[in-house]
Amino acid sequence: MLRWYLDEVVVYLFRTVVRQIKEHRSAGWPTTEGRLEKVYPPGPSWYPKTEVVYTYTVQGKRYTGVHTKAFWLESSAKDYAAKFETTRSLVVRYRLGEPTASLVRDPDQMNG
């Protein structure tokens, strides 16, 4: 049982740290308006997460991205997914010179 619990902690911490590093590195990237395409709330899983699929346009070209956020509890992941039910647009950050690299950051969102 202890091994299972430690595995849960390690996976959650890894996902969280990777996400925070990406958010920190992208803080200076330019922003554009994105459109929410689909929200995937967590299904039955040992490692609950919410995925948000979005599209955005940079210099007339359309791109697609996926925002993934991990949670400790499935109920928290479902609550996070529910926040997107009334949203159609998002603030998307993209890497200058490589617009296929994008990120949706919670601090950038009006309701986030």
Residue range 26-69, pLDDT digits in tens: 999 999 999 999 999 887 777 888 999 999 999 999 999 999 99
Comparing CA positions, the residue from 62, 56, 51 lying closest to residue 90 is 56
- Rounded CA gap, 26 and 93, in Å? 7
Q: Which pLDDT tens digit goes with each residue over 68-84?
A: 998 888 899 999 999 88
Confidence band, pLDDT 50/70/90 cuts, at residue 1:
low
pTM confidence score: 0.82
Specify the pLDDT at position 10: 84
Structural contact between residues 31 and 93, judged by C-beta atoms closer than 8 angstroms:
yes
